[in-house]
Amino acid sequence: MKFLSIFTLGLFLTGCGQSNTFSSNALTQFKQSTDLVAAADISSDGQYSLIADPQKVCVWNNLTSQLQHGCLVGEAKDYIEIVKISKNNAYYITSNQVVVRLYRLHNGKKVGEWRLGENIINDIALSKNADVILLGLRNGKAGIIRPFTNEVFTFKKHRLDINSVALSSDGLTAFTGSSDKTAILWHTKTGKSKHSLKHKSRVNHVQISDDGLVGVTIDSIKDHNIWDLKSGESISELDTHLRFFEFNHSIFSADNKVLLSGSPKQKLQLWRVSDGALIGQWKAYQESTRASVLATSFNEQHQAMSLTTGGMLETWNLPPK
C-alpha cells in the first residue's frame, strides 16, 4: 500500500498550515481531513476511505493517497452523520439520519435517495453489492431498502430504539442491537427472527462476520460477547474489566479468528475470537484533547487500519500468529 511516508506527510501538513509533529508509533499516517470528522468508513480491504466533515464528503484512494473523485459539497454534505462503503467497493451511502443517499464509489454519481417518513436513522449497514440497505431506526423498527428494485420495507424488531445494525455480505442476515436490552438475528426477506440475545443493559454495538456465522455484541455496562450465530451460543466474552466499555466500529478478519475494534480515547484493539483475549492494542494519533477511532479495517498486507475524528488514517502491524 503506497501511503505517504511520515517525512512526506510532515511537509504536506506544513504546507496546509498544520503541525508536522507526530507521537504515534503507527507504520504509516495520512491526514485525510483538516476538520473535525463526523463520520468515516474504511473499505473492507483497506483500499478506500470515506470521510464526512462540515465542509465536504470525500472518497480517498488509499493506494494512491489521492481523492477518488470530486468531493460532495452543498446540500449533499450537510449534516452527514453516517457513511458506509459496500464490500465490493462499488458504492457508498451517506445519511443525515433522515435521508439515505446511494452513490457510485468510482465517479461519485448518485444512484438514488430514500427516506422512511420522518423516522430518525441511528445506524446503517450495506450488503456486499449494495442491493440491501439495513436501517436501524429510533422507533425500534428496522428498515430494508432494495435500491435497484426501489423496494422499501419496515419490520418492528425491537420495543425501543435500535442503536446499531450489521448485515451479512449476502444481505440475507441482519443483526440489530437495541435499548430494549436485546440483540436480534433475523432474516431480511421475511423479518423472521432466528435468535434473540438478552443483555443486562442497552445494546450499543453489534457486528457480524461476512458469512453471517459469528457476531459480537456490546452493551452499555457488562455484556461484551462474541457469538456463534448458527447456534445462538456465546463463544467467548471479551477480556476486559472496564465497567463502561464502548466500540465505535469493529470488523472480523476474513477467517473469523480475530476482531478489530475502534473506540473513543484513541483505542484500537485486537481480540481473539476463540477466548476473547486482547492480543493487540494501539493508540491512534491525537491532534486535540480527544481523538476517537471512527473506523477500522484490515488491508491486503494483513495490517490493521484506523481512521479518527481528526481525519488521520493510520496502519499498524498485527502481532504474530
Residue pLDDT, tens place only, 120-152: 999 999 999 999 999 999 999 999 999 999 999
Cα separation, 161 vs 120, whole angstroms: 10
Residue 198 covered by a domain: yes
- CA distances to 27, 69, 160 from 224, in Å: 30, 39, 20
Q: Does the structure show a pLDDT above 70 at 313?
A: yes
Residue 86 covered by a domain: no
CA-nearest of 225, 146, 150, 148 to 185 is: 225
Residue 225 covered by a domain: no
Task: Tell me the pLDDT tens digit for each residue of 250-276.
Answer: 999 999 999 999 998 888 999 999 999
Residue 216 covered by a domain: yes
Buried b (16+ CB within 10 A) or exposed e, 154-179: bbebbeebbbbbbbbbebebbbbbbb
Strand order in the sheet with 173-178: 162-167, 173-178, 182-187, 193-198
Report pLDDT for 20. Answer: 30
Indicate the SS3 state at residue 163.
strand
Report pLDDT for 220. Answer: 86
- Residue 179 structural domain: 122-220
Residue 174 covered by a domain: yes
311 contacts 33 by C-beta, under 8 angstroms: yes
Indicate the SS3 state at residue 74.
helix
Cα separation, 62 vs 48, whole angstroms: 5
Residue 287 covered by a domain: no
What's the mean per-residue pLDDT of the chain? 90
Query: For residue 7, how many other CB atoms are within 10 A of its CB?
Result: 9
Report pLDDT for 21. Answer: 32
Residue 82 β-bridge partners: 95
Residue 236 covered by a domain: no
Residue 207 covered by a domain: yes
Cα separation, 24 vs 310, whole angstroms: 13
Report pLDDT for 289. Answer: 58
Report pLDDT for 5. Answer: 36
Indicate the SS3 state at residue 76.
helix
Domains held by the chain: number: 1
Report pLDDT for 217. Answer: 98
CATH number of the domain bearing residue 146: 2.40.128.630
Indicate the SS3 state at residue 8.
helix
* Burial status of residue 75 (CB atoms within 10 A of its CB: 0-12, 13-18, 19 or more): exposed
Report pLDDT for 29. Answer: 94
Of the two residues 17 and 134, the one the predictor is more confident about is 134
Query: For residue 311, how many other CB atoms are within 10 A of its CB?
Result: 23
